[in-house]
Amino acid sequence: MIRSDEENLTLAVSPVSVDELNAKFYGKYSFPWRPVKFDSLVDPDFETVMLNQALGDWKHKRVAANSEIWVAGCGTNQAAFTALRFPKAKVTGSDVSAESIKACGQSAKDIGISNLELRRESINQSQYSEQFDYVICTGVIHHNADPEAALAKLAAALKPDGIMELMVYNRYHRIITSVFQKAVRMLTGNTTAPDFEDELEVAKRLIPNYPVRNLISSLFTDWDTIPDAALADRFIQPVEYSYTVESLDAMASHCGLEIVLPCTNSYNKLLNEYSWNVDFKDSRLQKSYDSLPDVRRWQVANLLLFEKSPMLWFYLQKKGSSQRKSEKEVCDEFLETTFVKTTTQQRAYVLQDDGTYKTSDKLNNYPLASSDVSVREIYKSIDGKTPMRDLIERHGVETTFSNVNAARLKLTTPAFPFLKAIDRKTDLPGNDEQSRRKAEELHRFQSERFNRLNRRSASK
């Protein structure tokens, strides 16, 4: 098979051999490193609501709060974060690295997480069949010998109406890291049996002595301030594939999957690179672009934005699901929906000097930050009565696809969790018996959780 020169695939011999390499690599360089703190929200349904809204489900039914979730390739902490985000769900976390599973298990034990099961397991060897409502796999399959085979395993594990959250490397982000990785491996001579310590030492010598200022040298700005695990993840990966929207869509299709919508995530939010839509000053160009089907439009954005295009982080589902809506349809429904401002509290579990996590006594109001300035006036006018279209037009904003989608992303998604869709007939406080029961259920859940944490703190 002819392999692209700009990808790091020299060691991609077989799924078994690469699984062994990855187990060794992440056993030595646990990634990501343990966080300073974990967080959980007092409202146990908050994250489920935001996930459903990100999928364009304004009634919050697509993914249930008590879903079965698989975090495939969970590393040292993603499964723990997921179990905290979805406390009513049953979460399974798996990874090839025994050290990563051990670290994640210790964190879960410190915090008192009770809805998480951890397994040392390769995606390639998994045998799940239509078991999970929600499969999360971010930054994993592109380090496999055969990413498509790994994706097929993830697809097999997904229920017919389930949702997958998938992230693979964007080709236009990773060309420079992949070629540096290949160069380091050639300099060490370890092209068939890598010595990771040797490779990291060579990388550390090469960076401050780099012979030219170019795109690759732009990777080095923080190299002497980050831990070895971060350096290793960036500069000496054993195997690294990367994709465009077009090649990701093709791979997904081969596995019986289709892309649903982009996943707005905290990484792209930090870089302000989260929109897959391009604004043109030329009206004819804009009309042609907006008329394209979703995936084709995202492909154009990927090509034109190049290194400024977002991460390839998408929601997928099995082909043929009647529940898929286009991004335009989601925006049209957004305009006709009524919202209330979200409010809950966040609890922190803080890393101590002895390496354990302890529950903070302080609760912070959540969301922590203010809404983006571009949508702040719309946010301020939310009253639980007026549909979004009326509010946007009231502020003199034209309801173009670009404007509406930007407002949707910046107000109603997990990365921007400021508004919750309501059914005005049933969801307004005091309207019916259902509201009272929801309030009682939330109070009971919060009380049980608080008592459990108090008992745990008292036993230490």
Quick one: pLDDT at residue 6? 67
Name the DSSP letter for residue 130: S
Q: What is the pLDDT of residue 183?
A: 93
How big is the chain, counted in residues? 460
Amino acid 394: pLDDT = 95
Report mean pLDDT in 10-residue bins for the chain, 460 residues: 68 94 95 92 98 97 97 97 98 97 96 97 97 98 97 98 97 94 91 90 96 92 92 95 97 98 89 88 95 97 95 96 90 98 97 94 94 95 97 95 96 97 72 51 55 51
What own/partner pairs with CB < 8 Å and gap ≥ 24 does 60-65 have?
60/421, 62/161, 62/163, 62/323, 63/133, 63/134, 63/163, 64/133, 65/89
pLDDT value at residue 437? 57
Residue 206: what pLDDT? Answer: 96
pTM: 0.91
Q: What is the pLDDT of residue 455?
A: 54
Distances (CA, A) of 280 to 77, 284, 327, 347: 41, 9, 18, 43
- Rounded CA separation 151/260 (Å): 16
Q: What does the alpha-carbon distance between residue 172 and residue 242 come to, in Å, rounded to a whole number? A: 8
Residue closest to 339 by CA, chosen among 304, 388, 296: 388
List of E strands, 141-240: 158-168
